[in-house]
C-alpha cells in the first residue's frame, strides 16, 4: 500500500517566501506545524492508502485529465484559514480566481471518480496548506496577522504538469516522493 495524492508542485520565489516567513514570524508564539517550503504543493486529490495494483488505472485517469488541460499560468495570492475563527485548523495561501485551475481540479476528480476513487464531499477549493494549527493562544494577534497578509500577492508561475506523489511519514517529518508526472495539454 502506498499513501498517494495528486498535486501541482509549487516552487516558491523570493516574494512568496517573504510572505511565508513574515507570517511564521508573526505567529511564532502559536502552536502551528508549518509546512516546509520544499514540500509546497497544491493538492488536487488525496487518494490515501492505495494498493500498488491500482497504479495503472490511476495512470490512465491522470493521463486523460492532463491531456485535456492546456498549460496555464497560476497566480498565488491571499491568506486564509479553514475552520472557524474561534477554532482554525489550517492556514493557507490561496489561488486567484482562475477558471483553469478549477477545470483541471474537476477533470482530475471526475477521471479518478470513474476509475474507482470517489469524489470527496467538499467542493474543490484550490489552496496551498502552509500550516496545520494545533492551538492558538493569542486569538486577537492571530487574526491580526492573518488580516495583515489576507491580500498578499505571492507569485505567478507556469503550470505544465500534474504529479502523482507518495507521502512517506518519517520520524523526521513527511517526505513526498514523485511516482509519476503527467504533462498538460
Integer Cα distance of 105 and 50 in angstroms: 20
CATH number at residue 102: 3.90.1140.10
Parent domain of 125: 2-183
Place of cell 511519514: 169
Q: How much is the pLDDT for 14?
A: 97
Instruction: Using 50 as the pLDDT threshold, list the residues of the chain that sit under it.
Output: none
Looking at residue 66, its pLDDT comes to 97
Sign of CA dihedral 114, 118, 123, 128: negative
Euclidean distance between the first and the last CA atom of the chain, given in angstroms as a whole number: 30
DSSP state of 61: H
- The number of folded domains in the chain is 1
Catalytic residues: 41, 127
Residue with grid cell 471518480, as numbered in its chain:
113
Residue the block writes with cell 511564532 = 28
pTM of the predicted model as reported, rounded to 2 decimal places: 0.92
Amino acid at each position: 500500500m502506498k499513501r498517494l495524492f495528486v498535486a501541482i508542485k509549487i516552487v516558491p520565489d523570493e516574494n512568496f517566501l517573504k510572505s511565508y516567513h513574515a507570517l511564521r514570524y508573526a505567529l511564532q508564539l502559536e502552536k502551528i506545524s508549518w509546512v516546509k517550503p520544499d514540500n509546497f504543493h497544491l493538492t488536487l486529490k488525496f487518494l490515501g492508502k492505495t494498493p500498488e495494483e491500482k497504479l495503472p488505472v490511476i495512470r490512465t485517469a491522470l493521463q486523460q485529465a492532463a491531456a485535456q488541460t492546456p498549460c496555464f499560468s497560476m497566480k498565488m495570492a491571499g491568506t486564509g484559514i479553514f475552520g472557524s475563527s474561534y477554532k482554525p485548523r489550517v492556514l493557507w495561501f490561496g489561488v486567484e480566481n482562475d477558471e483553469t485551475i478549477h477545470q483541471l481540479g474537476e477533470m482530475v476528480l471526475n477521471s479518478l471518480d470513474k476509475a474507482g476513487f470517489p469524489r470527496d464531499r467538499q467542493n474543490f477549493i484550490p489552496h496551498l496548506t502552509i500550516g496545520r494549527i494545533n492551538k492558538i493562544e493569542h486569538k486577537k494577534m492571530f487574526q491580526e496577522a492573518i488580516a495583515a497578509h489576507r491580500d498578499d500577492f505571492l507569485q505567478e508561475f507556469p503550470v505544465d504538469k500534474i504529479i502523482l506523489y507518495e507521502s512517506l511519514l518519517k520520524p523526521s517529518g513527511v517526505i513526498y516522493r514523485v511516482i509519476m508526472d503527467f504533462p498538460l495539454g
